[in-house]
Amino acid sequence: MKKMFNKVLLSAAVLGLLAGCAGEEENVIMAPVPVVKSEFTPKSDWSASVGGGVGHYFSKLSPESAYGKIYVASRDGEVKALDPSNGKTLWNVDLEQDTPARLSGGIASAYGQIYIGSENGEVIALNAETGEEAWRANVEGEVLAAPVADSSLVIVNTSRGALIALDEKTGEQKWTISTEVPNLTLRGDSRPVAASGGVFWGTSGGRLAAAISERGQLIWQQPVGQPKGATEIDRLVDVDSSPLIIGATLYTVGFNGQLIAIDLRSGNPMWKRNYSSSTDIASDGGRLFVITDKDHVIAVDARSGTELWSNDQLQNRLLTAPVLINGFVVVGDSEGYLHWIDRSTGEFVAQQLVNDSGFAVSPLALSDGYLVITRDGKIKKLTIQ
């Protein structure tokens, strides 16, 4: 009965990803858990926890590995630095003040600090060694995606269509680029990516944008999707995926849009394919791995956009973005299963139930294993023998 109730809630959560949606409903049927004969069973090295996790809220609080530590956070404001060898807490801070913390965008690391955003429109910088708060800056809109650091700046993309650069030492606002936000958008934003003095990000209006990091000058915008259809949901074209850069090519994908390869220098498209997605892309260099809006896992040739394989057995299981671990494509789902997929064939090779609270974010690949964090704040470091 509990499983059935969870499926009803999670079906409703699909529609909950929409901001401002009213009167648009559809039945979502979650695929059953595939029967998989696992070729291996990961070994648990240690366990830990952080606050109450994110619960059923939309909070993409991915853990971060940097400066010889693992950083984790919960929506209610607890932030921890963990020893990667044993999971012991090195420091612990509570960022909640007069109002609930509502942490949602992060964690990013740079300049000896870590950065976390919130639904309250704040960006908070903490000393990576001690956890001491360095500064706290107010920005226009919710910060639902992790910041990126470049040119001594911390750059965030907000829910109001503002890309904002903050001074890494003080949090002072240096520049802002505003883009149009439609009346109805998905609950989420694209994490910016910095490369070669430029910053690249997706917009709610269906475009991939590029700017010069140092001075905030917009260089180009490339359409990824065009609004079309009879209903407001049909016309959603958010580009919430974080751009992926391989060499001189940038890849991104939009909801109700396209998977597109763009020449980094000119901003011109190299190829386009009709796929709809709002999650980040993974790659092994030659292949792109994408989770579609129906939770189909697909592999595409990075040079041509040719589809190599498609796995539809996890349909509507609310998958995390894919990640590569030990050469396998790995995704988590809303019921707490990790699914391991052969990157050459698309066939399942292993499966584990980690925690029935489910996954909000992807596992974090480490040099000696991987880390998972579930919606209730439970953390595990695992290795494959």
Architecture of domain 186-280: Beta Barrel (2.40)
| Residue ranges covered by each domain of the chain | 38-178+362-384, 186-280
In a 3-state reduction of DSSP, which class is residue 14?
helix
Any idea what the Cα angle at residue 247 is, between residues 369 and 282, rounded to 5°? 40
Q: How far is the C-alpha of 291 from the C-alpha of 322, rounded, in Å?
A: 7
Is the pTM here over 0.75, yes or no? yes
Q: Which CATH number fits domain 38-178+362-384: 1.10.390.10, 3.90.550.10, 2.130.10.10, 3.40.640.10?
A: 2.130.10.10
Same fold, 38-178+362-384 and 186-280: no
Any idea what the Cα angle at residue 69 is, between residues 71 and 279, rounded to 5°? 45
**What 8-state DSSP symbol labels residue 54?**
T
Contact 353, 359 (CB under 8 A): no
Q: What is the pLDDT along the chain (385 residues), one digit of tens a residue?
A: 333 333 333 333 444 454 444 444 457 899 999 999 999 999 999 999 999 999 999 888 999 999 999 999 999 999 999 999 999 999 999 999 889 999 999 899 999 999 999 999 999 999 999 999 999 999 999 999 999 999 999 999 999 999 999 999 999 999 999 998 988 889 899 999 999 899 999 999 999 999 999 999 999 999 998 888 778 888 889 999 999 999 999 999 999 989 999 998 888 999 999 999 999 999 999 999 999 999 999 999 999 999 999 999 999 999 999 999 999 999 999 999 999 999 999 999 999 999 999 999 999 999 999 999 999 999 999 999 7
Dig out the tokens for 38 from the structure: 């696992």
- In sequence order, what are the residues at sequence separation of 6 or more whose Cβ sits closer than 8 angstroms to the Cβ of residue 79? 50, 71, 72, 73, 92, 93, 94, 95, 103, 107, 114, 116, 126, 131
Phi/psi of residue 216, nearest 5 degrees: 70, 35
Q: What is the largest CA-CA distance in the chain?
A: 56
